[in-house]
Amino acid sequence: MIIIISYDIISSNKRNRIIRVLREYGNRVQKSVFECDVSEKDRLDIFSRLSQIMEGDEEDKDSIRFYKVCEKCLSQTKIIGTGRIEERPDYLII
């Protein structure tokens, strides 16, 4: 499944921890936006790990948003400007 994760985090330290987690799962497509092609298990892992980073947060202005993108919607994605849509392979050789 494709999920879009965006964040707005004030603390540089916390933001860098979030970025490190997200880089394990997806591609950074804008400064505070990642596209991730993940399994349901990975999606839950990401949510759990980011929740732990946000836990006990005194800043009520920080946020992380998750958007699930269906296959039909993904096929209709358009980009204006720089960037490209990552191609999803039909198969993966391991």
- Position 85 in a domain: no
Judge whether 59 lies within some domain. yes
Triad 8, 11, 13: Cα angle to 5°: 115
**pLDDT tens digit at each of 94 positions of the chain:** 999 999 999 999 999 999 999 999 999 999 999 999 999 999 999 999 999 999 876 657 899 999 999 888 887 888 888 766 666 556 556 6
Would you say residue 93 lies in a domain? no
Domain that holds residue 69: 2-75
Taking the C-alpha atoms of residue 74 and residue 87, their distance in angstroms, rounded to an integer, is 11
Domain assignment present for residue 63? The answer is yes
Would you say the pTM of this structure is higher than 0.95?
no
Q: What CATH number has the domain bearing residue 29?
A: 3.30.70.240
In a domain, 83, yes or no: no
Split into its structural domains, the chain has a count of 1
Q: Evaluate whether residue 71 is within a structural domain.
A: yes
- The gap from C-alpha 36 to its chain's centroid, in whole angstroms, comes to 5
User: Would you state the pLDDT for residue 84?
Assistant: 67
